[in-house]
Structures are given as structure tokens and as C-alpha cells.
């Protein structure tokens, strides 16, 4: 029995020895294989080892910044922070220095006011069954200043995750031009609208990194090689938008939106010499920081509609260019028959027999029907519609541009197109076409991107230049059109009288466009129109061109559609001309100026006393700035023609001091501002009643000169009252 047991033990030992030997040989064979091939389960072991021990740290890149034409920031990446709360008690290793939220109630009371949340809501978040929590939208993208305030509370368990956020410092400002960018599901900022979207390939950044061999704790191993891939920052974009002019526009549109609650407002300000868009805005708008968007289209370039009488500018230009327009020729206003259709003037009855010039001033539909049908001819007029590019997009460098549609199939459509009905165009098409009127016949392509620059090398990647896209009319025609359009604004019979700007000559045309009804025909009612104005100033050499359209404003029965439109046009145009230091028109009645003109000589380098005496002899009013003995500069300049009694401002080589401009006209104030290189800002109209820089104070280049003006009647009453007060004080003597 014992012998049999011993035999079984030997057999068991032999089997175990065999199994262990087999396992050893298998492992040894596997080891040899790995040594020879370096591959396991299809993966290279050297690579896997490197991945395990190689440490990689991200170097964040920055998305490109968007600037206005003067380098003011319109969109940029800003550091932002997300507030987090650690709730897991295991994170605390030292009870004296807790690293988790110990007292949710106390923490909630202190944290809630800073996050603008209810205390109960914060406490509910802090008592969740989780290791770490966030606080929703109120706790994301907070500023560095708010982060510091929270840190100062020394709340255990409250920490921050650093990130970057796309920030738009001006909020609701050129939002449809700039657009917006936001994080995608990979936490990358991507352009979603406007310039942010169309130039995303330039603005987009690419993070860099540094890699090195490290231990399991992430520390770099001695003598290990370091690899650095630098970050690739996004390119900076400079727009043609001018922040000051855009601000003038935004403020004026806000006023009109608040007062008249229109369905839409569209406005564009451009430089007709270059095609640069200086300002562009629409209502309703949105704040790119909040993305409270109601309309995803930029109506200034994407909304074709029947323009109304602003289209008459181009019909007039075509007739003059073809030599078929005689402004003194008379016609019968009221109605005009085209087949079985009757075209009527806007007052339904007309003004009797009047000249074509008066027809332009009164915006007579009949006058323009005759020009298209009888003077130009429908085929020739169609050629001019193509010349002014109303059949195609402008190609402006903004996404989403639409194109209008020329309806020219039926005889009535051909005629109504001449005064802006039937055919549709976009606001930007009208701006482009109008540059030909304001720029000597040369039509400029509109653009909003000035240049794109590499932020690291400062190399210009893309540079846009002014481009003449067509010359639909001659220089002489453009001047004649401007002359006639000025009378639309200045004539007692003109529809453009509300668009006058004191000190500047304005040329332009009003528009009242009907709105198609969804049920056919047009909407009816006092307010159901798109009221507009397309104007240029100063008329003698237009530096700015502006289009404003207001759709369906809430008007009182005593108001016309010109009220909201003119509020935007006159305030923006006036402020912009002054901001650009554009001299007021020398005299609005040029023919009289020539008849009674006094030519200004050059007084530079001459004795101040001598020049003052000479100017007085010519019955002009010298204004001396400084106490120097010689004249350095003067306005009006040599060669200018002035009238009797006009002020001539002389800057001497002495100290530059501010004159007393109270009682002066705006035109005279602008002379001083230009001569002393001041930034003028005005409030009101008429004559100066107050100035921010005291008379006799020293001034330097770049100072702001703010003057308040009153209408002549009010100013006269003020002067008379001051004289009475002065006289009474003299008579009464001092009061004890």
C-alpha cells in the first residue's frame, strides 16, 4: 500500500515538472520573439514605452484679433475662468487645510451674490452626490476680476479652470459685420457668422506643445531631449469700419428704434472715393457675447427689396448721360398712361404743368416714367441698369450677399423700374451705384476688410485696394446729377428738406417704397412703407455717402416717414464730417459769393499787426491766436474767396491759446479746430453759447473742443437778455 502511494507521488511530481518546464519554454520563446521583433499584439513596444514615459504639455495659441481701421479692438480672445467646487472629502489630506467644500450653507451664502445666483440654488449644487460640480452659465466665462473676488473669500473646495473666451468689447456693435465665434464640442473656437466665419481659416489658431521624457509623476528625466512645437497664432484682421462713425450710427439707430419701434432699420456709411465701408448696422441686432439673435441675415447685403424713389438717382443719371434730359422742359404731372395701366404721382393729383427739375425735387413718378418711356427708351435704360450693376452682386467681402432682381418682362415693369417699383435691389447695390455719382462717374467696389496681418512676423497676408468696377457715366454727368440732387434738399419744393445739415451742402434723394403683400398687391396704411434716403456730403466734393432705410415705423399722424430716417442721417453725417475734420462748405450760395468775393492773400511770415490792419481794411474780421509777432498759419488759406464780415483766423508763433468762440457760427469754430488740430464735438445748431475750453487757456494738438449751439432766434434772445442784465447791473450798482 505504501509502495503504491509513493509511486503516485512520483508521477504527480513528474507531471508538475513537465508543466512548469513547458511554461518556462513558452515564456522563454515569447521573450526571444519580443526581443527579436519588438512587436506585441501588433503594437511596437518601443513606441508604447515612449508613450508611457513621454510627457506632453500644450502651449496655447491665440485666435486672431479683429480691429477697426484705426486699430481699435472689435473682437479678441480673453482669459476666462469656470468656477468649480470639489465635493469629495477624500481630496482633503490635512483637516487643517481642507481641499473640499466643508460647509455648503456658508459657502453658498458667500458665493451666490458674486455669481448672481440664489443662495438655495448654489447650496443645492454644493450638496449633490458628486466628486466635483460646476455652476452652470453663471459660473462659466467669468472675468479675472470676478475670479479675484471669489479667491479673496478663501472658500475651501472652490477652484477654477482656466480657458479663453471670444470677447466683443463693444457688445451690440457692427454685429452682423463681425459676426461671432464659439467653442465646438472639441473645445475649439470656430467662427459661426460674419467675418468670424468667412475669415475663420485666417483667424483660427493652432496650439503648440513641448514634449520630453518623464517619470510616472510627470517630472522630466535628466538628460532627456526636449521637443518644442511653437503655437501658431491666428492672423489679425483690420476692417475698414471706423469705430467712431460706427458708434455714431449705432447710437442714432438705438434712438430711432426706441422711439419708433420699426420692423427693420438698415444703414451704411461709405467712402465714395475708395469703396471702404466705414459703418454698417441693422436692426434688430444682437450682442455677439450673448448671441441673442433673431435674424441670421445681414440685411444690408442680404435683403433685396423695391427701393422706391432712391432709384430715381440712376434714372436721372442715365438720361443726363445720354443727353436727353432738359431740366427746364415742362410736362404735365399727375398721371401717365402705359397701355391699360395708369401711373400716378404720390399725391395722386400732381402739381399741374411743371419743369422736369421740379419733378425731380417733388419726386414725381410721372416725370421719371416719361424719361424712361419717351426720352431714354426702355432698351437703353436697361443697359444703364446693367452698367450700374443692378443685375449682379457687388462682391463685397462679407458672407451671405444676395442680389436683387430686375423685372423687365412687361411694359409696365420697365416703366416702374425707373422710379423704384417692381425691381428689387439690396442696400449695398445702391451704395455701390451711388459711388459713381459721388466719385466723378467711377463706380467703386465696396469692401470691409482692409488687411490681414500675421501677428508674429507683422507680414501683411492679404491687402485690399480700392477697385473701380465700372464707369457708367461721365464726370460731367456725375456733377450735373449732384447739382440737381442738391436742390432736392434745398428747394422749398424738395422732398429732402429734412436732410439739410447746417454748414454742409447735401445732395440726395428720398425714397418711399411700397411693401408687397403676401396676398398679392401691396400693403396699405400710413406706416406700411420702407422710408429711405440716399445722400452725399459735402456736395462739392463728397467724402461720405450714406444710405438709411426704416421699415414700418410707428408714426404719429403729424409725422412723416422722413422723421426717423432724417434723425439717423443728419446726426450721423454731421458728426462724421466733423470727426473727419472736413471743412464746412465755404458758402451755400456760391453765385453770390463770387459776385461779392474777397480773395485771401498769403499772410504766412508777415507781421501780425500788419496783417490785422490789412484785413480790417478789407472789412474782414481778424482773429489772432497767440501773442506772437508773425503769422504762421491762417484759415481761410491763400487763394480762398470770402465775403465781407467773414472771420479770418490767424495763428501766430506765440503761445497757442483758445479764443472766445461764443456767438460764432459752427463754420467759424471749425476753422479754429482745424488750425489748432483740435477734435471738435458739437451739440445743437445755430450759434455757440458755451465752450469747454475757457478763452485764453493754453491748448495743444489733439485736445477736445466741445461747443454747444443754439438756434439764431434763441441765441438772439439770450444775447438780448444778457445785455439787459449787464445794463441793469450798471444802473443798480453793487448790491450790499
Q: Using alpha carbons, select from 485, 476, 367, 454 the residue that is nearest to residue 415.
A: 367
Q: Does 309 participate in catalysis according to the annotation?
A: yes
Of 255, 271, 256, the C-alpha closest to 69 is 271
Count H helices and E strands in the chain, helices first.
22, 33
Q: Half-sphere exposure (CA, 13 Å, Cβ side) for 336?
A: 22
Name the one residue in this structure whose C-alpha cell is 512587436.
Answer: 39
Strand order of the β-sheet with 507-514 is 277-283, 264-270, 544-551, 529-537, 507-514
Peptide bond into 538 cis (omega under 30): yes
Residue 65 to residues 76, 204, 455: CA-CA distances in angstroms? 5, 10, 9
Annotated catalytic residue, options 309, 364, 566, 665: 309
CA distance 364 to 711: 33
3-class SS of residue 89 = helix
Q: Please, are residues 127 and 104 in contact by the beta-carbon 8 Å criterion? A: yes
Supply φ then ψ for residue 100, to 5 degrees. Answer: -130, 170
Nearest Cα neighbor of 193 from 180, 182, 205, 183 is 180
CA dist 335 and 316 (Å) reads 19
Residues, the chain, total?
A: 736
Which residues are CB-neighbours of 702 under 8 A, at least 6 positions away?
A: 677, 678, 679
Q: Cα dihedral angle (269, 291, 202, 304), rounded to 10 degrees?
A: -40
List Cα–Cα distances, 720 to 683, 724, 730, 734, in angstroms. Answer: 22, 6, 15, 21
Q: What are phi and psi of 4, to 5 degrees?
A: -65, -40
Cell for 306?
423695391
Active site residues: 309
Amino acid at each position: 500500500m505504501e509502495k503504491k502511494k509513493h509511486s503516485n507521488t512520483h508521477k504527480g511530481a513528474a507531471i508538475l515538472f513537465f508543466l512548469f518546464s513547458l511554461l518556462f519554454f513558452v515564456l522563454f520563446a515569447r521573450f526571444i520573439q519580443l526581443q527579436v521583433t519588438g512587436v506585441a499584439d501588433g503594437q511596437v513596444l518601443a513606441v508604447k514605452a515612449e508613450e508611457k514615459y513621454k510627457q506632453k504639455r500644450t502651449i496655447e495659441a491665440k485666435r486672431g484679433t479683429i480691429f477697426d481701421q484705426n486699430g481699435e479692438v472689435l473682437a479678441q480672445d480673453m482669459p476666462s475662468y469656470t468656477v468649480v467646487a470639489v465635493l469629495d472629502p477624500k481630496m482633503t489630506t490635512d483637516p487643517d487645510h481642507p481641499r473640499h467644500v466643508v460647509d455648503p450653507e456658508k459657502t453658498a451664502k458667500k458665493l451666490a451674490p458674486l455669481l448672481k445666483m440664489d443662495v438655495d440654488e448654489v447650496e443645492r449644487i454644493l450638496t449633490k452626490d458628486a466628486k466635483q460640480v460646476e455652476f452652470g452659465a453663471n459660473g462659466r466665462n467669468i472675468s479675472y476680476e470676478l475670479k479675484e473676488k471669489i479667491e479673496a473669500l478663501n472658500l475651501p473646495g472652490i477652484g477654477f479652470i482656466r480657458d479663453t473666451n471670444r470677447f466683443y468689447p463693444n457688445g451690440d456693435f457692427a454685429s452682423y459685420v463681425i459676426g461671432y465665434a464659439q467653442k465646438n464640442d472639441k473645445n475649439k473656437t470656430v467662427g459661426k457668422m460674419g467675418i468670424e466665419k468667412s475669415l475663420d481659416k485666417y483667424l483660427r489658431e493652432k496650439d503648440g506643445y513641448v514634449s520630453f521624457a518623464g517619470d510616472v509623476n510627470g517630472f522630466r528625466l535628466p538628460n532627456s531631449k526636449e521637443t518644442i512645437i511653437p503655437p501658431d497664432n491666428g492672423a489679425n484682421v483690420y476692417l475698414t469700419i471706423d469705430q467712431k462713425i460706427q458708434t455714431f450710427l449705432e447710437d442714432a439707430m438705438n434712438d430711432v428704434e426706441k422711439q419708433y419701434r420699426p420692423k427693420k432699420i438698415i444703414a451704411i456709411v461709405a467712402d465714395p472715393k475708395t469703396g471702404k465701408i466705414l459703418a454698417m448696422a441693422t436692426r434688430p441686432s444682437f450682442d455677439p457675447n450673448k448671441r441673442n439673435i433673431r435674424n441670421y441675415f445681414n440685411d444690408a447685403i442680404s435683403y433685396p427689396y423695391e427701393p422706391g424713389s432712391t432709384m430715381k438717382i440712376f434714372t436721372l443719371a442715365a438720361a443726363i448721360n445720354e443727353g436727353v434730359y432738359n431740366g427746364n422742359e415742362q410736362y404735365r404731372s399727375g398721371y401717365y398712361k402705359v397701355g391699360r395701366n395708369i401711373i400716378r404721382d404720390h399725391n395722386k393729383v400732381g402739381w399741374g404743368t411743371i419743369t422736369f427739375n421740379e419733378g425731380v425735387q417733388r419726386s414725381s413718378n410721372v416725370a421719371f416714367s416719361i424719361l424712361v418711356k419717351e426720352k431714354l427708351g426702355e432698351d437703353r435704360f436697361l443697359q444703364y441698369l446693367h452698367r450700374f450693376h443692378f443685375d449682379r452682386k457687388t462682391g463685397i467681402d462679407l458672407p451671405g450677399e444676395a442680389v436683387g432682381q430686375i423685372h423687365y418682362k412687361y411694359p409696365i415693369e420697365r416703366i416702374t423700374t425707373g422710379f423704384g417699383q417692381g425691381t428689387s435691389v439690396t442696400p449695398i447695390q445702391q451704395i455701390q451705384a451711388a459711388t459713381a455719382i459721388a466719385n466723378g462717374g467711377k463706380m467703386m467696389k465696396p469692401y470691409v476688410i482692409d488687411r490681414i496681418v500675421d501677428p508674429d512676423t507683422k507680414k501683411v497676408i492679404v491687402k485690399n485696394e480700392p477697385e473701380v468696377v465700372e464707369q457708367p457715366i461721365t464726370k460731367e454727368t456725375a456733377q450735373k446729377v449732384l447739382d440737381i440732387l442738391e436742390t432736392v434738399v434745398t428747394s422749398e419744393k424738395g422732398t429732402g428738406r429734412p436732410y439739410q445739415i447746417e454748414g454742409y451742402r447735401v445732395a440726395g434723394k428720398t425714397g418711399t417704397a411700397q411693401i408687397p403683400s403676401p396676398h398679392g398687391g401691396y400693403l396699405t396704411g400710413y406706416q406700411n412703407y420702407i422710408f429711405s434716403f440716399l445722400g452725399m456730403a459735402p456736395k462739392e466734393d463728397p467724402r461720405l455717402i450714406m444710405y438709411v432705410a426704416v421699415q414700418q415705423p410707428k408714426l404719429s399722424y403729424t409725422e412723416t416717414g422722413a422723421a426717423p430716417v432724417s434723425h439717423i442721417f443728419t446726426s450721423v453725417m454731421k458728426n462724421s464730417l466733423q470727426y473727419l475734420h472736413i471743412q464746412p462748405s465755404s458758402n451755400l450760395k456760391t453765385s453770390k459769393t463770387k459776385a461779392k468775393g474777397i480773395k485771401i492773400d498769403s499772410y504766412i511770415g508777415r507781421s501780425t499787426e500788419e496783417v490785422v490792419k490789412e484785413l480790417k481794411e478789407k472789412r474782414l474780421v481778424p482773429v489772432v491766436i497767440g501773442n506772437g509777432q508773425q503769422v504762421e498759419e491762417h484759415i481761410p488759406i491763400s487763394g480762398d474767396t470770402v465775403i465781407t464780415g467773414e472771420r479770418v483766423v490767424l495763428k501766430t508763433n506765440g503761445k497757442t491759446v483758445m479764443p472766445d468762440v461764443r456767438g460764432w457760427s459752427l463754420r467759424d469754430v471749425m476753422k479754429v479746430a482745424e488750425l489748432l488740430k483740435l477734435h471738435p464735438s458739437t451739440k445743437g445748431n445755430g450759434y455757440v453759447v458755451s465752450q469747454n475750453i475757457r478763452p485764453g487757456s493754453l491748448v495743444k494738438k489733439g485736445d477736445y473742443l466741445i461747443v454747444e449751439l443754439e438756434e439764431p432766434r434763441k441765441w438772439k434772445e439770450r444775447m438780448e437778455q444778457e445785455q439787459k442784465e449787464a445794463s441793469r447791473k450798471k444802473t443798480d450798482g453793487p448790491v450790499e
